[in-house]
Amino acid sequence: MDNPAQKKEIINEKDGSVMLCVPAETFLMGNEKEPVEVDVFYIDKYPITNAQYKKFAEETNHNKPAFYNDNRFNNPNQPVVGVSWDDAVAYAKWAGKRLPEEKEWGKASRGIDGREYPWGNVKPDKTLAVFELDINKGAPTNVGTHPSGASPYGCHDMSGNVWEWCQEWYVVGKYRVVRGGSWINHMYSLRCAYRSCSVPGGKDNNVGFRCVKKTM
């Protein structure tokens, strides 16, 4: 049972992230809507931004993102892209957090009612998410630009904008799980149940991440 005194929102001291409490409940995972138990946890309200990643890279002498000097992708408030799975893990460790398990990410996105999208069952439009942009001209928007598309727990940008790394292998030794769709993808990829993958060493312009931590 959750602690009734558990704060619904905290600030992670190391990187300044707002983190939201996702309570321990059963949710309906995947296309099959299989009931899955998930313990209580905190998750970042927004994907990790360029500004946050810059602080990490400067403090640890870690490699800069692949698009650090590209004006399409380096606005301080855009989600960081051009980071590998290992980069994301290193950031999470520095910040005192970790990457989400796929079931945690799915729960934070979908809630407990089996909805198609974080905001409900209405198909995406440009007021709800960033998707289907020109790969040669488009880019992620600043985090939190589409508040109407927030999940039941208040998480922003969980559909569209950037794919987000999860802990698990999609194919062991070959691909890691990514969730959420991105600014270049069709609306079908924005569904809460949709799974995809990426090469863990890849540094693409449409893949970022957010972190989780256990409750205090």
Domains observed in the chain: 9-213 (3.90.1580.10)
- The residues near 164 (Cβ < 8 Å, ≥ 6 apart) are 47, 100, 105, 158, 178, 179, 180, 207, 208, 209, 210
In the chain, what percentage of residues exceed pLDDT 90?
Answer: 95
Please give the average per-residue pLDDT across 125-134, as a whole number: 97
Say if residue 6's pLDDT is above 80.
Answer: no
Please give the average per-residue pLDDT across 104-113, as a whole number: 98
- What mean pLDDT is reported for the chain? 96
What sign has the CA pseudo-torsion 175, 166, 59, 48? positive
Say if residue 5's pLDDT is above 90.
Answer: no
Please give the average per-residue pLDDT across 5-9, as a whole number: 82
Structure tokens at 40: 């209580």
Structure tokens at 1: 């049972």
The gap from C-alpha 29 to its chain's centroid, in whole angstroms, comes to 17
Say if residue 3's pLDDT is above 80.
Answer: no
CB-CB contact of 123 with 205 (8 Å):
no
pLDDT-based confidence at 216, cuts 50/70/90? low
Residue 215: the pLDDT is: 73
CA-based max dimension of the chain: 49
Say if residue 1's pLDDT is above 60.
Answer: no
59 against 1, higher pLDDT: 59
Please tell me the distance from the alpha carbon of residue 189 to that of residue 172, in angstroms, as a whole number: 22
In the chain, what percentage of residues exceed pLDDT 70?
Answer: 97
